[in-house]
Amino acid sequence: MDDAADDAVDVLDVVDVPEEWKVVSSTEHFRARVITGVTDAVVMPDAEVVNRDYVVHPGSVAVVALDDRGRVLLIRQYRHPVRRLLWELPAGLRDVEGEPLRAGAARELAEEAGYRADTWHTLVDAFTSPGMTDERTRIFLARDVSPIPEGELDFVHRHEEADMPVVWIPLSDAVRRAMAGMIHNSQAVAGILAAYAASADGFASLRPADAPEA
């Protein structure tokens, strides 16, 4: 292997950075309740103008909730675009204006699973599918979890959330299932693997829950 090719980019440069190529026109095709379909005409480095289709999305949050036995909480939800019942993390849209991301994640953990947590950290940030949407997600690690008394919950589950089983599974088993192709949701796979990696130092290297997004 050519060592010069290996050295073309210094390892210290392996960090995502903001960049915006010139857009000469933008066409909105539809605007739905959550997403908007757009085509931008983008100037490439060789000066050719090409169309790029993508979905504008408000963003999302998700929660890896770990109990004191090292188990992760998963919920099962029907996802119509892929025609599957998927095991997922509690998650939701960034659809409350001005709501801090951790507060949104805590709300989703309460509404979808009926739990609260006392200890929060930022686990991982990701673009869910950057070739076709601008959606960005922040996945939190939540520990010191406890069930919310039934009388304190006022969220009504409807539609896909009307029958959403909750299960606690050992984190190592969740990793095995993700690697075996038994868990497919991208937030779940990223969160499970990130939590497993972060457990190596007892989660000491994780960012605080209010860490800024780059």
Q: Which residues are part of the catalytic machinery?
A: 161
Q: List residues bridging with 194 in a β-sheet.
A: none
List Cα–Cα distances, 73 to 57, 181, 185, 197, in angstroms: 26, 18, 14, 17
Query: Residue 120 corresponds to which tokens in the numbers above?
Result: 């929060």
Rounded-to-integer distance, Cα 177 and Cα 189, Å: 9
The residue assigned the tokens 């979905």 is 55
Dihedral sign for Cα 16, 107, 175, 196, please: positive
